[in-house]
Each structure stands twice: as structure tokens, then as C-alpha cells.
């Protein structure tokens, strides 16, 4: 009977490590061995479900480049608007109301806004045509472990894995402290 229980336990361990969830759990434990202050105090509480991760349009380099140009034109428009206001105020303070610059729709401010709108349209077109691609996996994990002070801490982390579930490529501590 003991032999059968032993074989069932060995088979369970082998099977659990070959499933995607098992690979993720193993990768999490390997990561925690390196990052925890006292891994011997580690106590798993709960593993979340394994979920797939997809790329996000706002983190693509093409979108970031368009957004950077858009924001630069908006900042330039704000700067030019401030300059126009200062010039008008200076003319008023000098008592030269006849020399107040004429601000019209073709002002430098408006041209900056028009340029920003061009990039805004390009960003929207990029968003509309963007196709998310599979980039890896994620899993949350709730565990207890001793901190640097020797006290147990309940931690809740979200772990991110590569496509093959061979290693943790990042994590975010979601604990409330």
C-alpha cells in the first residue's frame, strides 16, 4: 500500500510539473528562491489561474513615437499661446493698445494645434489597425514569507512569464501595505 501511495505521489508531481500551470508554479518558486529574504519561510497560500498576455497598442514603439510627436506639438502650442498672451499684456501695460498683435486662426498656436491633430489622426488610425499578439503568460500568487525584519508578511504578486513558461520575466507586488 505504501508503495502505491509513493508511486501515485511521484506521478502526481511529474504530471503537475508538465502542465502549463505546473510550469508556472515551478518558475514562480524558482524566482522566489532568488528574491525572497528567507525562502525557507516561504508558504504558498494560493495560486491564481494561468492567463495569456497580449501586446498593447500603447506600448508599441510606433504608437509611442506618434504620441511623442503629438505631445510635443501640444506643448509647443501651449508655449506659443503663453507667448501671445504675454505680448498682448505687454502692449496693454505699455499703453500701446494700437500695437496689440492680431491673433487669428492662422496664428502659430493654431498651426501647432493643426500639426498635433495630424498626429492624433495617425494615432487613431494605428489603434484601429493594430492587432494584438501573444507575448506570454501571467499568474497571481498569494504567499507568506518572512521579511527582512523576521516577521511574516502576506504577499500578493502578479508574475509574468515568457511564451514557453520557462522563466519569470517580471512581477508586480499587488499587496496592500
pTM listed for this prediction:
0.63
Per-domain residue ranges of the chain: 2-54+134-173, 57-129
Q: What pLDDT digit, counting tens, does each position of 156-173 carry? A: 999 999 999 999 999 999
DSSP symbol at 19: S
CA distances from 157 to 40, 54, 114, 138, 172 (A): 18, 19, 44, 10, 6
The residue with cell 491633430 is: 117
Q: What pLDDT digit, counting tens, does each position of 18-40 carry? A: 899 999 999 999 999 999 999 99
Alpha helices per DSSP H over the chain: 2-18, 20-35, 61-93, 108-129
Amino acid at each position: 500500500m505504501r508503495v502505491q501511495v509513493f508511486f501515485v505521489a511521484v506521478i502526481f508531481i511529474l504530471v503537475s510539473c508538465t502542465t502549463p500551470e505546473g510550469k508556472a508554479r515551478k518558475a514562480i518558486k524558482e524566482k522566489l528562491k532568488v528574491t525572497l529574504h528567507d525562502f525557507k519561510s516561504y508558504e504558498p497560500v494560493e495560486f491564481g489561474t494561468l492567463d495569456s498576455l497580449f501586446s498593447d497598442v500603447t506600448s508599441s514603439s510606433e504608437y509611442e513615437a506618434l504620441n511623442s510627436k503629438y505631445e510635443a506639438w501640444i506643448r509647443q502650442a501651449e508655449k506659443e499661446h503663453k507667448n501671445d498672451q504675454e505680448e498682448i499684456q505687454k502692449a496693454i501695460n505699455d499703453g500701446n493698445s494700437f500695437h496689440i498683435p492680431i491673433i487669428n486662426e492662422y496664428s502659430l498656436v493654431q498651426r501647432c494645434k493643426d500639426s498635433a491633430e495630424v498626429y492624433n489622426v495617425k494615432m487613431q488610425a494605428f489603434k484601429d489597425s493594430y492587432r494584438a499578439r501573444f507575448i506570454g503568460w501571467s499568474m497571481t500568487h498569494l504567499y507568506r514569507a518572512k521579511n527582512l525584519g523576521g516577521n511574516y508578511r502576506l504577499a500578493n504578486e502578479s508574475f509574468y512569464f515568457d511564451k514557453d513558461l520557462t522563466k519569470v520575466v517580471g512581477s508586480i507586488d499587488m499587496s496592500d501595505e
